[in-house]
Amino acid sequence: MHWPESPSSERSPPRSARRRQTPVIIVTGGAGFIGSALVWGMNNRGREDVLVVDRLGHGEKWRNLVGLRFLDYRDKQAFIEELERGAYDGRVEAVLHMGACSCTTERDVDYLMENNYRYSVRLADWCARRNGVRLIYASSAATYGDGSHGYADDERRLADLRPLNAYGFSKHLFDLHALRQGWLRRMVGLKFFNVFGPNEGHKGEMRSVIAKAFPDVRDGGSMRLFKSYRVDCANGEQRRDFVYIKDVVECILFFLDHAEASGIYNVGTGESRTWNDLAHALFASLGRDAAIEYISMPESIRDRYQYETRAEISKLRGVGFSLTFSALEKAMRDYVVHHLLPGRYLAPAAANESRSLAPSLKTCTPTSRTSRLGYARVRDSSRDRQP
């Protein structure tokens, strides 16, 4: 397969890309948190026919890609222009659209509209006009707003939702557009709840509280949590649906396996846990008693703060996804022991392990014993060390 050149490209595509004629999988946001973890998951299933699409800029996001195996990398703007010119026609099996600005405090709404909404429309329109190209895209639990309309992933109730920030609005707007266009009859939108795990370090203020607190907790300090400003909720008892990135990857790949499933689905554990639970799990993973400091919540977010989120996952279970989500304590230990303490990014199992443990993408589902064994083994086999 010959990847097209663009004026922004400074190198020729690799020979393997020029020779390849079989369809590949596109992962947008492929260097980001969920995107790079998704490439890792496909590597562990024996797949390397992946085109990573992203914009690396001046940050550390590129480090997420170092231990992964993929066919090529394209800048996101060059890619969408090439796509619309027809350069990838007949060459794409599926598009896993994880790319977006996920900053919930972003104030440049024009940027969010162009980057999150308009880019998604262009990509989805291309897929819709080419029968057989599967699109799985990242929506967000931020579309649910304060939760007053519930957390049901029912397309008939999309118009009732009222996001609390511009990021959530940009995601919600695309969900509504996809529904109006009839795209959700063939595409899948995934509303991720509070995802945490390896490869999130580049996200700055948008990385999980775990990643933010870890250096201080590791070095003997305390963990800071927001005070509650509701009389019916004690400090630290605000609740979230915390879901581990490795389980999220299993869920996305399930939908890649099952083309008969379409529509919008929540991706969370279906259980809410308190911030205090999260803190205790982090300290326990380091063999320490919890030391929690409750701090004032910024006034700018007090009226927009969610006191509880919990994914309703009956629809997800109804299409056959039966993976048991990792308990918070188990996921925390895996994250701390195998990634945060040694400073390891996600990297696939060694080639011989990958071949022996990971069935092909077309035959492996998260309900099979082999898949779960492979998932357990690769947790300890991330080898690339952060500097």
* 188-192 and 239-240 strand pairing: unpaired
Q: Are 341 and 198 in contact (CB under 8 A)?
A: no
Task: Report the distance separating Cα 315 and Cα 302, nearest Å.
Answer: 32
Lowest average pLDDT, out of 114-118, 287-291, 374-378, goes to: 374-378
Determine the average pLDDT of the residues in 168-179.
95
Mean pLDDT of the chain: 86
* Arithmetic mean of pLDDT, 279-295: 97
Which of the two residues, 84 and 383, has the higher pLDDT score?
84
More confident residue, 382 or 69: 69
List pLDDT tens digits, range 335-353: 999 999 999 999 997 643 4
> Region 242-271: what's the mean pLDDT?
97
Angle at 383 between CA 381 and CA 387, to 5 degrees: 150
Global pTM reads 0.84
User: Has residue 11 got a pLDDT over 60?
Assistant: no
Strand partners for 242: 194
Q: What is the pLDDT of residue 21?
A: 62
> Mean pLDDT throughout 134-155?
92
Q: Indicate whether 380 pLDDT > 90.
A: no
Contact 142, 165 (CB under 8 A): yes
Q: What is the CATH number of domain 15-202+241-272+310-378?
A: 3.40.50.720
- Least confident among 45-54, 108-117, 240-249: 108-117
Confidence of residue 16 (pLDDT cuts 50, 70, 90): very low
Alpha-carbon distance of 208 to 238, in angstroms, equals 15
Query: Of the given ranges (37-51, 169-183, 269-283, 355-369), which has the lowest mean pLDDT?
Result: 355-369
The pLDDT score that the predictor gives to residue 340 is 97
Model pLDDT, residue 140: 94
Looking at residue 369, its pLDDT comes to: 32
* Both tokens assigned to 357: 């443990």
Look at residue 379 and tell me whether its pLDDT is greater than 50: no
Give the closest residue to 156 by CA, choosing from 12, 379, 315. 315
Rounded distance between C-alpha atoms, residue 383 and residue 299, angstroms: 43
Q: What is the mean pLDDT of residues 74-81?
A: 96
Taking residues 136-158, report their average pLDDT.
92
Asked if 120 contacts 127 with a C-beta cutoff of 8 angstroms, the reply is: no
Kindly state the percentage of the chain with pLDDT values over 70: 85
Which active-site residues does the annotation give? 167, 203
Helix residue ranges per DSSP H, 45-118: 76-84, 109-112
pLDDT higher at 368 or 126: 126
User: By the 8 A CB rule, do 331 and 269 touch?
Assistant: no
pLDDT of 350 reads 64
**CA–CA separation, 25 and 116 (whole Å):** 20
Question: Over pLDDT 90: what percentage of the chain?
Answer: 73
33-42, 326-335, 345-354: the lowest-pLDDT one: 345-354
